[in-house]
Amino acid sequence: MARFRDRQKAIILRKRGMSYSQIKKVLKVEKSTLSTWLKDYPLSETRIRQLRDWSEQRIEKCRETKRKKKEKRLEDFYQEQKRIITPLNKRELYLAGLFLYWGEGAKSRMVELSISNTDPSIIQFFLFWLTKSLLVPRRKIKVALHLYKDMDVDEEIHFWSNILKISPKQFYKPYIKESTLKSVNHKGGFGHGTCNIRVSGARLTEKILMSLKVISDTFNRTRT
């Protein structure tokens, strides 16, 4: 009885245009058996061509070809933009840092520059900007981490200390959130928590905030 039901299902699937290989995966029946059952149900030439053109192997090969083309395209763009963008001169570096701070920096306190992000590259650039463009001594820079309760505090301090080349002695006691990393880390964006870099200095902060006001005012005048 089970064999009869399988044969009937095979015929239905065949009429839908499925190949022996596709039906075999569904019913777990040998191709030799399917050949007997379905000898009176040949596929049309059009369907055979479709199956041939869109076989799993061809689809995978097509995907791989597209992936390699994309990788090559992105690499070409990368090299092109690298030639255009780097190296940054003194003015360009200063402006790049200003625009980063305009978008990501804290602006409510006139006595401290501060930026927070989960991306180590952004934090590294901000630190580079502070030390190379604003000439802030590295020893004056402080670090505050926001971590999750299931994270290893010592391990994360070591991670950030290592990539920023800042002594753990310059780290505040981390703020530990009640939520867990696992509950929010769907795509790896919070792998090492949030890092906050800050440096105190009223005159320096005033200078940067007024620089941002110059940019803002310039674009406001452009619109009017």
- Pairing between strand 142-148 and 175-177? parallel
For residue 172, what pLDDT band results from cuts at 50, 70 and 90?
A: very high
Residues 12 and 97 in one domain: no
- Percentage with pLDDT > 70 across the chain: 92
Do 97 and 46 lie in one domain? The reply is no
- Are residues 203 and 171 in contact, defined by beta-carbon separation less than 8 angstroms? no
Give the tokens for residue 32.
Answer: 């030799």
pLDDT in tens, 40-93: 888 888 887 777 776 666 767 777 888 899 999 999 999 999 999 999 999 999
The residue segments making up the domain with residue 135 are 90-223
Structure-model confidence comparison of residues 191 and 91, the more confident one: 91
**In angstroms, rounded to a whole number, what is the distance separating the alpha carbons of residues 102 and 128?**
17
From the list 120, 117, 112, the residue with the least C-alpha distance to 141 is 112
Residues 130-155 pLDDT 10s: 999 999 999 999 999 999 988 999 99
Considering the domain boundaries, does residue 83 fall inside one?
no
Q: pLDDT band at 17, cuts 50/70/90?
A: confident
Confirm whether 116 is domain-assigned: yes
Mean pLDDT of 5-24: 88
Number of structural domains (the chain) is 2
| Confidence at 185, pLDDT banded by 50, 70, 90 | low
The answer to whether residue 79 sits within a structural domain is: no
74 domain-assigned: no
Q: 172 and 125 in one domain? A: yes
Within a domain: residue 15? yes
Query: What is the reported pLDDT for 28?
Result: 87
pLDDT of residue 32: 86
Given this model, what pLDDT does residue 187 score? 53
pTM check: above 0.75: no
